[in-house]
Amino acid sequence: MQPAVESQLPIATRDGEFNARYSEKGLAGLDFPSGNKAKRTSSAAAKTVEDWHRTTTVALKQALQGKSPEFLPPLDLSAGTTFQQRVWNALRKIKPGETCSYGEIAKRIRNPQAVRAVGAACGANPIPIFVPCHRVLAANGKIGGFSCGLDVKRRLLAREGILLC
DNA sequence: ATTTACAATATGA
DNA sequence: TCATATTGTAAAT
């Protein structure tokens, strides 16, 4: 493992304190306040990181309001495999207020039969909200699952104007 | 017609 | 090999 300069900065929102992790390349992860205490590993927080954090904070707040963030920090998706990156890229393609099924995503990445893998890739998604995995529902329109808290997912969808049956 | 149960197929550790 | 944030089909009610 290379000594990645990880900086974890907390972001206070109405929904709790998020935990943003930054690598050298950009935003590497975003964790929900799942009872986990947000540690602030601001060891060598470079000026660049602070800039990212600023952008991330704004973008996150906008996203929590159901709006599509105008500016996003650089996302470091290099932690994932090729397939995962493909899935996440497809997820980001989803328009605000639109929902998608796992099957749809599978179709978009040219692997209609990889629906299962798509779900797995979503579960491995390091950056919820920015990578709108919460907009992905099951084929039935069911909410499926959510690693970071089903309740949050539900709330996010409601804020985007997506009402669940 | 609606619901429950089971198997399948792709990817990652 | 096992687990996973699904999906599609079949049978029972």
Question: What pLDDT, in 10s, does the model give residues A51-108?
Answer: 999 999 999 999 999 888 999 999 999 999 999 999 999 999 999 889 999 999 999 9
Q: How distant is C1' of C12 from CA of A19, in Å?
A: 49
Q: How distant is C1' of C1 from CA of A86, in Å?
A: 26
Residue A145, both tokens:
């699952």
Q: What is the pLDDT of residues A112-122, one digit of tens each?
A: 999 999 999 99
The model scores a pTM over 0.75: yes
Of A110, A148, A109, A111, nearest in space to A132 by CA: A148
Residue A100 catalytic? no
Q: Determine the nucleotide nearest to A102 by Cα–C1' distance.
A: C6
Confidence of residue A3 (pLDDT cuts 50, 70, 90): low
Give pLDDT, residue A149. 82
Quick check: A146 CB within 7 A of strand C? Answer: yes
A17, pLDDT greater than 60: yes
Q: What span, in angstroms and rounded, lies between the C-alpha atoms of A132 and A91? A: 6
CA distance between the termini of chain A:
45
Calculate the average pLDDT of chain A: 89
Give pLDDT, residue A16. 86
Q: How distant is C1' of C11 from CA of A120, in Å?
A: 30
